[in-house]
Amino acid sequence: MIGLITPTGARQEQINLCQLWMSKQTYPGNVVWVIVDDAYPQTTNYITRPGWKIINVYPDPIWQSGENTQARNIAAGLNALLSAYKREEIEAIFIIEDDDYYKPFYLERMMLRLNGFWAAGERHTIYYNVVTRRHVTNPNNYHSSLFQTAFKVEAIQELENSLWHRFIDSEFWKNVKNGNLFNEGNLAIGIKGMAGRGGIGAGHKIAMNMQTDINLNYLKSQIGEDIKYYEQYYSGDRFAQHPAFIKRGH
């Protein structure tokens, strides 16, 4: 069995798309999806996925505007998973973020990459802001973004030790033993700028330097016909002259 942990709340459109991407996953094994919703009203109690077990977690106190509850919610999801299953039953744990795009073979390919390692993650994360239609490929050579990371129970302690750091992902990968960082054609894309409770990553901010993609050609090259789910968010071309992202040294 593999466990997925999704921290969410007050992001109806995001979780709806997340449910769609998870419904298309080709991974043939048993999956338990832990959905942690810390907002009111709840927007996740209807989520289903045929063949998977869903565990709903509703932390208290509820999220308040301006708070960052990501670490608390991941911890709550991990605790729910470990309370329901023995560690030896869990083959892998994934952090599935609600606003990102996952290709149908994401879980399947990640499990292959995890074989023989404590953790696996894809480098050079793509951020795509669907409101400004801009994108950037991050020079993250030494860590994988959290939404592109899977790990075995042997690495749970490293995750727990990283949760209270500003950058959970980079701290985790700095400390994890026997990790596999790889590149495989962008198994997932970091989607930024959607409506609802704001995201905390730099890609959500207009100030981040990105390349323009007014006609969605770049995004379509990455996700094909699924682009139709993101066309509605465009705010206009007033960001067209924003300077391109420049890679900096380590």
**Domains of the chain, with CATH numbers?**
2-129+145-199 (3.90.550.10)
pLDDT tens digits along 169-181: 999 999 999 999 9
pLDDT tens digits along 18-76: 999 999 999 999 999 999 999 898 889 999 999 999 999 999 988 887 788 899 999 99
> pLDDT-based confidence at 7, cuts 50/70/90?
very high
Residue 80's CB: how many other CB atoms inside 10 A? Answer: 19
